[in-house]
Amino acid sequence: MRLKRKDLLGIEDLRADEIELILSTAESFKEVSDREIKKVPTLRGKTIINLFYEPSTRTRTSFEIAAKRMSADAINISASSSSVVKGETLKDTARNLEAMKPDCIVVRHSSSGTPRMLSKYVACSVVNAGDGAHEHPSQALLDMLTVKEKKGRIDGLSIAIVGDIAHSRVARSNIYGFTKLGASVIVAGPPTMMPPGIESLGCRATTDMESAIKGADVVMMLRIQTERQKESFFPTIREYSRLYGLNEERVKRAKDDVIILHPGPINRGVEISPEVADGPYSLILDQVTNGVAVRMAIFYLLLGAAREE
């Protein structure tokens, strides 16, 4: 079976069987990173450009390592050191990059919809590495892989996502993904960070964190994006932490075998207490490990077969 797609723009576009294919492929790829020689020749001669208009350590490094472990050549471009600062439009940047014949462009941008627009300009594959508050598909896939690995299934689980739902592309992609695979998702956050109508994505919503995590199999904490906090959606960090921070006391409300996820980078003591972040139910570092495998799977499935014309 193959993924009959040129691009990976969001989880919303994917069918459940396509998500399952990516996850099972990623499970097989995990082994490559445990080898002494962490490299397979699969994408020899392919060129992958990481075009990042927003700062990133984890995601960019993860895509780069994934490309390199598949023997593809990865080139990183960050907006701060590129022609963007000279005023070049995205369209022109894309056209110029395409003229150098890459096979895939991985793009992160602060504006929702950028990857989709880019995919119309270029013939090569486009992978969304996070666009505005829209989607972050590879993050949701690695979250689903981590849950599936730990719980053995996704179908029937109850997932609580807590934090700044309104600005979170991670939340959106995960709502789509987990509900497509049969989990029930509840999101919780302060009213100022809860987009009206979020239920239309197939989840439930509440402003009461404690009721959201009650009986949850998985609690996913979102980072408070201090860089987006200029408009101040809550009075103080301390108040946020008191109402929506995950501490050991609150973890007890979830199921005994609950697992805690966080897309990183974590704000210790704000949305998650250090004891929880470093605790036994925390899978934050497993998520990072799985991120490489998921991105290898994405590259394999998008670039590892002849193009359907």
Positions touching another protein (CB under 8 A) are: 1-3, 24-25, 27-29, 31-32, 35-37, 39-42, 297, 300-301, 303-306, 308
Q: Which is nearer to another protein, 35 or 120 (CB)?
A: 35
Residue 42 Cβ vs another protein, minimum distance, rounded to whole Å: 4
Tell me the closest approach of the beta carbon of residue 31 to another protein, in angstroms. 5
Helix axes 137-151, 58-69, angle to 10 degrees: 80
Choose between 28 and 89: whose C-beta lies nearer to another protein.
Answer: 28
* Cβ-based nearer residue to another protein, 86 or 101: 101
Is residue 205 within 8 A of residue 212, CB to CB? The reply is no
Identity of the residue, 25 or 158, whose beta carbon is nearer to another protein in the bound complex: 25
Query: In whole angstroms, how close is the CB of 100 to another protein at the nearest point?
Result: 19
Are 271 and 284 a contacting pair, CB within 8 Å? no
**Number of neighbouring beta carbons within 10 Å of residue 17:** 9
Burial label, 4 (beta-carbon count in 10 A; 0-12, 13-18, 19+): exposed
Residue closer to another protein, measured from CB, 40 or 201: 40
Strand partners, 160: 186, 219
* CB 71 to another protein: min, Å: 9
Do residues 207 and 213 touch, judged by C-beta distance below 8 A? no
Q: Give me the phi and psi of 106, to 5 degrees please.
A: -100, 120
Residue 33 Cβ vs another protein, minimum distance, rounded to whole Å: 12
